[in-house]
Amino acid sequence: MNGAVSFTPANPPEAEKPLWGVEIKGFVYILRCKDERLYIGSTRDLEKRCKAHMMGRVKTTKGRRPVQLIYSEKFDDYSEARKREVYLKSGTGREWLKAKLERCQSG
């Protein structure tokens, strides 16, 4: 399990925050687990959630560590991230994901 992982800061610069101080963002992310299976999830704070997975604080991946973040997408709205998560867990979404990962591995 190797590869570069890029995290979005949990506390973005003031210029990225709305004037009222409330961030409305979301991420969909994919982890590769020790057993080579993928875990697809969504969160509002990618860095915090990945750390939770890596520390064994997430029930579904606790016994499958170590985990590696292999893919993520950022959304302006958490509900859009959830919709993307549902899509990626569907048959069509899994086919898209498989093709994308194969393209990345082949070069």
DSSP string, 25-57: -EEEEEEE-TTS-EEEEEES-HHHHHHHHHTT-
Tokens of residue 69, six digits: 């973040």
Q: What per-residue confidence (pLDDT) applies to 107?
A: 65
Domains in the chain: ranges and CATH: 23-106 (3.40.1440.10)
- Across the beta sheet with 26-32, what order do the strands follow? 38-43, 26-32, 68-75
Residues 71-101 pLDDT 10s? 999 999 999 999 999 999 999 999 999 999 8
Residues 35-64 pLDDT 10s? 999 999 999 999 999 999 999 999 999 999
